[in-house]
Structure formats: C-alpha cells, structure tokens
C-alpha cells in the first residue's frame, strides 16, 4: 500500500523533532520532506541525534518543492510563515496542519492585536478548522486546513469546553493558572533559558495578554454559547523538560459538585482514546502523561467558595503540539485516530 507522503515546514524545533519521531513509526505515513533555513542541506538525523537513522535532508522552504514531495504538510514555523505559504500549498492540492498560531483565531482583528502583525491569508480564516479532535472531530475529517491548538489551550479546553457546554459552570470568573516545562518555550537559545537560569527557578511570565489567551477565550465562549469570555490566564515556567499542568477555576452552577463535573467529563471522554478522566479525589500529575498523547483530568470542588477546580495535564510537545497534529492527520486522512500514537 502506498503511504501518505508528509512534509514538515520548519522542522528544526522541538515540535519538529517530535514529528520526526512520531511519523517514523507511523504505519501509514512516510516523511518525505522537511524544511529548515538553518539546517538546509543537512540530514534530519544529524540535527536530531535521537533519530540518526532519518536520512531525509532539510531543504529550503519553497512551496513548489514541498508540493512536489508531499500530500500533507505540518507547519511548525514561527507565526506568520505558514499563512504566507498556505494558499499556494492548498492550491497545489496539499492539506495543511498548522502548528503555529496563524489560523487559530477566527477574528482577524483579534489575531493581529495579539500577534502584532498583519495576517497574510485572511481569506482562509473562515475555512480553517480549530484542530482539537475531541471537539471538532467531524470538521477536521473534512478539512483542508487545520489550526493545531496551542499547548496551554489544549490543556484548558479539553475539560473547560465540556463543563461549559454541559451548563455546569459559569462562563464568567474563569481563571487558568498554568505551569509549563521549558520545552514549551521552544528550542530557543536565550539567556533566560540556559540551564542555570531555569533549574531551581519558578517564575510566572506573560500574566496579562499572553498570545494563547484569545484562543482559549474564543473556544470557551463557543462552548458556553456566549458572545465572549473574559478570563485570567497566568502561565509559569517550571524546571521540567516536558509537561503542562493547568489548574482551572470555575464557578459552579447550582447543585454542581465534583461528582457532577466528573460525570460530564466521563460522558464526553470515556470513549475517546486520548483523554482520561481521573477518579474522584484524584488530581493530575504531568509525569503520568509525558511522552504520550494523553490528557488527564481531575476535578475537585470547594464548597466554601463554590469553585470547581480542574487539574489537567498534557505533554506540551505531544498532545500540546506534534502528537495532536498527528491525531489531526489521522482524522484528515481517514486513518485510525490512534495510528502512530500508542
């Protein structure tokens, strides 16, 4: 059987590296091209020593060259790059899974405000599907262009959209306090990310106006059926390699407790391969999901403050980026949702 030919645009970061790992063991997909301006001409195996056997060579990011080699492309580039190439790639018949943020926000003005640049393909915004398979599985199956969610949003939205859709919690007064491992910052060579500056350090950053905020608010509002959600999203940098823990506080509607919330989550996810709802009284721990595409969700309820407290974990590179991208590919290509991911 002929395999699906996949390419990666901007493959030299941690999400790119993980895509190489996932695709190399995917039974139905062949990695046929990868681009990187920095490493053009070198083999992927020489840049990512874990995957020394990978003989695919990095090439310059030229749309026509990619189109000649791939049926579907992942874009793991900086923001603004995928949108500049997307139309040409789609016209050439490729499908796109964009791991950058170019197509996540439906409202062009909001996107431009948070990302501080002009959008290069606003005509495609209406077509792009937000690639959270547990929410938009049907649309993803039919999509040409999927916007892979951010890592923080994935950890917040998997529990949050269920609770809001089920009408169990208020759409006001939501707060998400999130803790991320350092790969979340990308493979960035910067003083603040060298080992001695991160190790034995705990610090928040971007506590107002983080770029992931509008995408979280957009999807929570859609789930709640309200025009807008306005919330706090407060990320912190934690000295682990991988893993995001999100603590999300919601105000419970009348009579809702941990049990009610857990029931709704079980109903939504017990037949889903990549979300596990924990038992009553259990909270999530990143170490149980690192190196997997799983999201684990625990719930507590504080009667004194009437707060539903959600504890949600993912691996930021897997379910938060490359793993979810492959899950989207599986849906778009009609493969088993779990192919290459277990």
The residue ranges that bind a second copy (CB under 8 A) are 14, 25, 49-50, 52, 173, 175, 177, 179, 181-183, 187-191, 193-205, 207-208, 230-232, 234, 236, 238-245, 247, 249, 276, 283-292, 300-302, 304-305, 307, 309, 311, 313, 342
Q: DSSP letter for 318, please.
A: I
Residue of 33, 82, 151, 295 with catalytic role: 151
What is d(CA 155, CA 206) in angstroms, rounded to the nearest whole number?
Answer: 17
Q: Rounded to an integer, what is the distance from CA 333 to the centroid of its chain?
A: 19
Say if strands 295-302 and 203-204 run parallel, antiparallel, or are unpaired. Answer: unpaired
* Sheet with 4-9: strands ordered across: 58-59, 29-35, 4-9, 72-75, 95-98, 145-147, 129-130
To a second copy, the closest distance from the beta carbon of 78 in angstroms equals 17
To a second copy, the closest distance from the beta carbon of 83 in angstroms equals 26
Tokens of 254: 């009348």
- β-bridge partners, 8: 34, 74
> Nearer Cβ to a second copy, position 53 or 254?
53
To a second copy, the closest distance from the beta carbon of 125 in angstroms equals 23
> Nearer Cβ to a second copy, position 121 or 248?
248
> Nearer Cβ to a second copy, position 137 or 273?
273
Nearest in space to 250 (alpha carbons), one of 320, 133, 154, 165: 165
> Nearer Cβ to a second copy, position 247 or 330?
247
Tokens of 217: 């608010």
54 catalytic, yes or no? no
What is d(CA 142, CA 129) in angstroms, rounded to the nearest whole number?
Answer: 9
> Nearer Cβ to a second copy, position 97 or 174?
174
To a second copy, the closest distance from the beta carbon of 8 in angstroms equals 19
To a second copy, the closest distance from the beta carbon of 230 in angstroms equals 5
Q: Rounded to an integer, what is the distance from CA 206 to the centroid of its chain?
A: 18
Residues catalogued as catalytic: 151
């Amino acid at each position: 059987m002929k395999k699906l030919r996949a390419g990666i645009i901007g493959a030299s970061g941690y999400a790119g590296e993980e895509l190489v790992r996932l695709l190399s063991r995917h039974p139905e997909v062949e990695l046929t091209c990868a681009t990187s301006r920095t490493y053009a001409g070198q083999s992927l195996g020489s840049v990512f020593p874990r995957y020394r056997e990978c003989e695919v060579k990095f090439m310059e990011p030229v749309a026509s060259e990619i189109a000649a080699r791939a049926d579907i492309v992942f874009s793991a580039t900086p923001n603004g790059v995928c949108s500049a190439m997307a139309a040409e790639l789609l016209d050439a018949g490729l499908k796109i899974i964009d791991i950058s943020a170019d197509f996540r926000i439906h409202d062009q003005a909001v996107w431009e405000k948070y990302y501080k640049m002009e959008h290069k393909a606003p005509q495609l915004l209406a077509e792009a599907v937000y690639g959270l398979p547990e929410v938009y599985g049907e649309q993803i199956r039919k999509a040409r262009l999927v916007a892979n969610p951010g890592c923080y949003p994935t950890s917040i939205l998997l529990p949050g959209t269920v609770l809001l859709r089920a009408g169990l919690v208020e759409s006001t007064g939501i707060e998400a306090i999130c803790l991320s491992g350092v790969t979340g910052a990308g493979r960035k060579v910067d003083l603040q990310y060298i080992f001695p500056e991160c190790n034995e350090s705990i610090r928040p950053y971007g506590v107002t106006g983080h770029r992931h905020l509008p995408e979280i608010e957009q999807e929570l509002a859609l789930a709640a059926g309200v025009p807008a959600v306005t919330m706090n999203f407060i990320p912190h940098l934690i000295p682990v390699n991988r893993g995001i823990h999100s603590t999300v506080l919601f105000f419970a509607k009348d009579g809702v407790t941990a049990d009610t919330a857990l029931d709704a989550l079980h109903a939504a996810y017990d037949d889903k391969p990549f979300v596990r709802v924990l038992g009553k009284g259990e909270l999530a721990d990143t170490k149980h999901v690192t190196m997997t595409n799983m999201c684990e969700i625990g719930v507590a309820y504080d009667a004194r403050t009437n707060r539903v407290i959600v504890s949600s974990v993912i691996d930021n590179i897997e379910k938060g980026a490359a793993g979810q991208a492959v899950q989207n590919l599986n849906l778009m290509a009609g493969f088993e949702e779990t192919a290459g991911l277990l």
